[in-house]
Amino acid sequence: MAQDLYQLHWASRAAVKTEKYPERPLPEEVPLEETLAALEECKAEGKIKHIGVCNFGVEDLKRALATGTKIVSNQICYNLLWRGIEDEVVPFCIENDIAILPWSPMGQGLLTGKVSSADEVQPGRQRSRLFSNERPQQRHGEPGLEDETFAAIRKMKWVSDKLEEPMANVSLAWAREMPGITSLLMGARTQSQLERNLTSLQLSLDPTTVELLNDAGAEVKQKLGANLDPYESADSTRIV
Alpha-carbon gap, residue 129 to 143, rounded angstroms: 8
173 located within any domain: yes
Classify residue 80: in a domain, yes or no. Answer: no
What is the pLDDT at residue 135?
95
CA distances from 8 to 109, 117, 232 (A): 25, 35, 19
Q: Between vectors from CA 210 to CA 226 and to CA 153, what angle results, nearest 5°? A: 65
Given this model, what pLDDT does residue 8 score? 96
Residues facing residue 103 across a β-bridge? 77, 185
In a domain, 8, yes or no: no
pLDDT of 186: 80
Burial class (CB in 10 A: 0-12, 13-18, 19+), 85: buried
| Beta-bridge partners for 74 | 53, 100
Q: Is residue 235 part of a domain?
A: no
Helix locations, 45-139, DSSP H = 58-66, 89-95
> Which stretches in the chain have pLDDT values below 50?
none
Can you give the pTM of this predicted structure?
0.94
Instruction: Return the sign of the alpha-carbon dihedral for residues 189, 192, 193, 195.
Output: positive
Can you name the residues that pair with 101 across neighbouring β-strands?
Answer: 75
Residue 220 lies in a domain: yes
Give the residue among 118, 84, 102 at the shortest CA–CA distance from 181: 102
Chain centre to alpha carbon of residue 162: 27
For the chain, how many structural domains are there in total?
1
- Cβ-Cβ contacts under 8 Å for 113 (sequence gap 6 or more): 153, 156, 157, 160, 166, 167, 168
Q: Is residue 236 situated within a structural domain?
A: no
Instruction: Report yes or no on 47 lying in a domain.
Output: no
Give me the domain span that covers residue 220.
111-180+190-229
27 lies in a domain?
A: no
Label each residue of 4-51 as H, E or C: EEEEECCCHHHHECCCCCCCCCECCCCCHHHHHHHHHHHHHCCCEEEE
Whole-number pLDDT of residue 27: 95
